[in-house]
Amino acid sequence: MPGVISRPAPRVRARTPVAATAARSVDTTVRFESFGAVAYVGRRDDFFALDRAHADLLRRLAVGARPVRAAEAARVRALAALGICVTDPPTPPRPNQGRSVLGRLGELPPLTRPLLVNCFSTAHCPLRCVYCHADDLMIPYRDTERAREVDAVDRTATLIPALVAVVTGGDPIVAPVRAAQLIDRLSRHKRVVLDTSGAGDVDPLLPALRRAGAHVRVSVDSADRRVHDRARPINTRYLPRGTSAFDAAHATLRRLAEADVPCSVQTVVGRHNEDGDALRRLRDDLLDRGVRYWVLHAAVPAGKAERRPAVLPGPDVLDRLRELVAECVAAGLPLDIRVTGTHSAPRSVLLIDSRGQLCVQRADGPGKQVVWTPDQRPDPARMRQRLDACVDWPGHASRYLNGPLTPVPAG
Q: Which of 314, 278, 408, 300 is nearest to 348 (CA)?
A: 300
Residue placing its CB nearer to ligand SF4 in the complex, 177 or 239: 239
Please state whether the peptide bond connecting residue 93 to the residue before it is cis, i.e. omega within 30 degrees of 0.
no
Residue placing its CB nearer to ligand SF4 in the complex, 125 or 318: 125
Q: How far is the CB of 128 from ligand SF4 (least distance, A)?
A: 6
Q: How far is the CB of 102 from ligand SF4 (least distance, A)?
A: 32
**What is the number of other CB atoms lying within 10 angstroms of the CB of residue 47?**
22
Q: Which of 132, 115, 119, 126 is nearest to 169 (CA)?
A: 119
Residue placing its CB nearer to ligand SF4 in the complex, 248 or 397: 248
Q: How far is the CB of 172 from ligand SF4 (least distance, A)?
A: 10
Are 41 and 400 spatial neighbours (Cβ–Cβ below 8 Å)?
A: no
Task: Tell me which DSSP letter residue 127 carries.
Answer: B
Residue placing its CB nearer to ligand SF4 in the complex, 125 or 157: 125
- Cα separation values, 400 from 11, 178, 282, 303, Å: 26, 26, 22, 21
Q: How far is the CB of 282 from ligand SF4 (least distance, A)?
A: 17
Q: How far is the CB of 391 from ligand SF4 (least distance, A)?
A: 22
Residue placing its CB nearer to ligand SF4 in the complex, 49 or 134: 134
Binding site for ligand SF4 (CB under 6 A): 125, 127-129, 132, 134, 169-171, 197, 232
CA dist., res. 270 & res. 191, Å (int)? 29
Residue placing its CB nearer to ligand SF4 in the complex, 197 or 402: 197
Calculate the dihedral angle through the C-alpha atoms of 44, 48, 54, 55, rounding to the nearest 10 degrees.
Answer: 100
CA–CA–CA angle 107, 301, 265 (5° rounding): 65
Q: Which of 51, 47, 48 is nearest to 34 (CA)?
A: 51
Q: How far is the CB of 302 from ligand SF4 (least distance, A)?
A: 10
